[in-house]
Amino acid sequence: MKFTVAIDGPAAAGKGTISRAVAEKFGFAYLDTGSLYRAVGVKALEIGRGVIDPVVAARVAGNLSDTDLNRDDLRTGMAGQAASKVAAMPPVREALLEFQKDYARREGGAILDGRDIGTVICPEAEVKIYVTASDEVRAERRQKELVPDKPDLTVGQVLIDLRARDARDAARDVAPMKPAQDALLLDTTKLSIDAAVAEALALIQKRIG
Ligand code: C5P
């Protein structure tokens, strides 16, 4: 059986939590596509010491190992910014395209979260959900996640960081962040994690029939 769930939306809207819960409930494989761009961004920073050469980054993108994708430092704010810079480079997106497309149509069902899953990676996905939340709520959530490693980090700093990243992701020429025309919108601003997950599960269950 091929069944794809495409989850898109801005940073810290709840995509990861929802995707993991869906994957567990329906037995789907889960790919956090942001981790691909984060891994490329972090590698490119190391190689280029801040100056990212698109050709180098693209070569890196095609050669990511499991170790690269599971590095502890991928979740930092710096990795997020580096990711969104390399993600605007067409050769980087091109290098990651086939892997994601194949993943989306694998047997047994798959859920992918990112920015362009419903629009570019898998426009034929059976379910597309665009997850959003207010900027302030997203910044609070992300700050809570990051503060154990960075005790001085304020919600205000995270808010600036998220807005910069969202603006870059939405404005780029290739595969900008936007809802697919047929995506269902899920605003998690006022929802608890459990309620957001329950809504997503219900939407998917309805499509599965
Ligand atoms: O989802 P996450 O915040 O980990 O993604 C990090 C960055 O990777 C995003 O800000 C975006 O620039 C990029 N990205 C992308 N397309 C995707 C997933 C992530 O451009 N499908």
Please work out whether the CB of residue 169 comes within 6 Å of at least one atom of ligand 1. yes
Give the whole-angstrom CA distance, residue 26 versus residue 21.
9
Rounded-to-integer distance, Cα 91 and Cα 152, Å: 36
pLDDT at 48: 66
User: How many Å lie between the centroid of ligand 1 and the Cα of residue 19?
Assistant: 15
Per-residue pLDDT tens over the stretch 113-146: 999 999 999 999 999 999 999 999 999 999 999 9
pLDDT at 59 over 80: no
In the chain, what percentage of residues exceed pLDDT 70? 96
CA of residue 8 to ligand 1 center, whole Å: 10
The number of folded domains in the chain is 1
pTM: 0.94
Beta carbon of 85 within 6 Å of any ligand 1 atom: no
What is the CB neighbour count within 10 angstroms for residue 124?
11
Q: What is the pLDDT of residue 69?
A: 80
Question: What confidence score (pLDDT) does residue 104 get?
Answer: 97
Rg of the chain on CA atoms, in Å: 16
CATH value at residue 115: 3.40.50.300
Range of the domain at 80: 4-208
